[in-house]
Amino acid sequence: MPATDVLEFIAFTDPVCTWCWGSEPILRKLEAVYGDHLKVRYVMGGLVEDIRAFYDRANDIGGDPDRSNQQIAQHWLEASAQHGMPVRTEGFRLFSAETVSTYPQNIAFKAAELTDPDRAPQFLRRMREASAAEARETGRREVLIELASEVGLELSTFLRSLEDGSAERAFREDQTFTRQCGARGFPTFLLRFGGHEVLLQGYQRFESFQAVIDSLSAGNLPRRQVDSSPEAVLAFIARHGLVAPIEIEMVFGLTPTQREVIVQTLVVSGRLQQVPAGNGSFLKRAPSPLACDVTTGQCRL
């Protein structure tokens, strides 16, 4: 496909930013609609270098790690009520005396990119799930290794990138690029097409992205009609692993009632499972009695 037919979509982000988590349904909708005509690139900006020296005046977050955890959990719940992605506050512990920064998660993403660029977005998604919906302390090295293993990253290369400084150097380059582009917070999105670009600060609706894309491309970037049949929904869930209900509604253009009809049809037929997740849930394809995953090299009963 000629480069002139592709829109570059740069997402300035941090793995534990709640509004970045809330943007996941919109990004999946964009990928479904524009397909290969959209090239998504994630740039790690680094949200919190040290929570003890950080202060978010608007949400009264910063300083003591334990107090910050309580404030962040409440803020994430409030954000979840707006963006619809699940959040778990029970046992929430993003920061501790040992983990005072979100930089380890940012650096881990760069290690994943250096290890396997095609699988790195899956690792980023897994970090978001673990941080937001599973209340796991993803700043810990051992947790990051577990998540890397879950998505099938080659661990010796992943760990070497963490330990030899190459992942951290790549992260610092991302931070420099973030500042150069004028991204002052997360999420921020830079859309480029045909020599023109637009920088969008903060959480955006799908309709806003679509309007900007139409403006940049003069309406010439092809769109796909998204099939909303139960089989198409099941295939989408199988491809992505864990999917929130709001993502089904967003990607397939369904109302909550329409989504529930399709989901219950698939659940009753034994092809889909619902997984509780904090204040919401995920959907995943039901495993066969013996399921072997060629990505992770693991068979599960």
Q: Tell me: pLDDT of 2 over 70.
A: no
Structure tokens at 211: 């309007």
pLDDT digits (tens, 9 = 90+) for 81-139: 999 999 999 999 999 999 999 999 999 999 999 999 999 999 999 999 999 999 999 99
CATH 3.40.30.10 in the chain is located at: 3-180
Per-residue pLDDT band for 291 (boundaries 50, 70, 90) equals: low
pLDDT digits (tens, 9 = 90+) for 114-129: 999 999 999 999 999 9
Cα separation, 160 vs 233, in Å, equals 38
pLDDT confidence of residue 300? 63
- The three-class DSSP label of residue 219 is coil
The CATH architecture to which 230-300 belongs is Orthogonal Bundle (1.10)
Cα separation, 37 vs 7, in Å, equals 6
Cα-flanking dihedrals φ and ψ of residue 26, to 5°?
Answer: -70, -40
- Tell which CATH classification among 3.40.30.10, 3.40.50.620, 3.20.20.60, 3.50.50.60 matches the domain 3-180: 3.40.30.10
pLDDT confidence of residue 55? 85
pLDDT digits (tens, 9 = 90+) for 233-274: 999 999 999 999 999 999 999 999 999 999 999 999 999 999
Nearest CA to 284 out of 226, 218, 219, 240 is that of 240
140-169: string of b/e by CB count within 10 Å (b at 16+)?
beebbbebbebbbbeeeebbebbeeeebbe
CATH 1.10.10.10 in the chain is located at: 230-300
HSE-up (13 A, CA, CB side) for residue 282: 20
- The three-class DSSP label of residue 134 is coil
Q: Tell me: pLDDT of 297 over 80.
A: no
Alpha helices for the chain (secondary structure H): 18-22, 24-34, 65-83, 103-115, 120-132, 141-150, 155-163, 166-180, 206-217, 230-240, 245-252, 256-268
Cα separation, 181 vs 175, in Å, equals 10
Taking the CB of residue 216, how many other CB atoms lie within 10 A of it? 19
Per-residue pLDDT band for 193 (boundaries 50, 70, 90) equals: very high
The answer to whether 181 and 190 have CB atoms below 8 angstroms apart is: yes
